[in-house]
Amino acid sequence: MKRNRFELLQQIRRRRLDACRLQLVGVGQCERVLSSRLDEMVHGVRVTFAEQREAVEAGGVDVSRVVDCRRRRAELQGACDMLSRRNGLVREVLELARTNLEAAVREVDVIGKLVERAAV
């Protein structure tokens, strides 16, 4: 009877372990997507800044082009800031998911040892 309880507990802990693995994969994927978007936004800011430099260095100042570049750069920078904050939050969740996975692995190991002892 005792062995059956341990085996049931072991099954429950293995399901939790599987859920923790899935969570880690999902959060990791989200983090990669956000990092990729952030890289694209940072690149867009650099390109816009280069365009603005060209508008000023072209032997004169193209005011409308400079204004447009500054506006786009401000929009992109705002989006970068937002993505950076989101990415920070996702990293925190990723660390929590790793911690949960480590705890789940330890629990499965402990329950496995208890099942072995109960079998003896």
Residue 1 reports pLDDT greater than 60? no
Residue 117 reports pLDDT greater than 90? no
On average, the pLDDT of the chain sits at 89
d(CA 75, CA 18): 41
Residue 58 phi/psi, 5° resolution? Answer: -80, 25
The model carries a pTM of 0.74
Number of residues that this document lists for the chain:
120
Query: Tens digit of pLDDT for each residue in 3-56?
Result: 788 888 889 999 999 999 999 999 999 999 999 999 999 999 999 988 888 888
2-119 carries CATH number 1.10.287: yes
Confidence of residue 58 (pLDDT cuts 50, 70, 90): low
| 89 half-sphere exposure, CB direction, 13 A CA radius | 7
CB 89, CB 31: distance < 8 Å? no
Instruction: Of 79, 68, 67, give the one whose Cα is nearest residue 42.
Output: 79
One-letter amino acid for residue 73 of the chain: R
Domain boundaries along the sequence of the chain? 2-119
Q: Count CB neighbours of 91 within 10 A.
A: 14
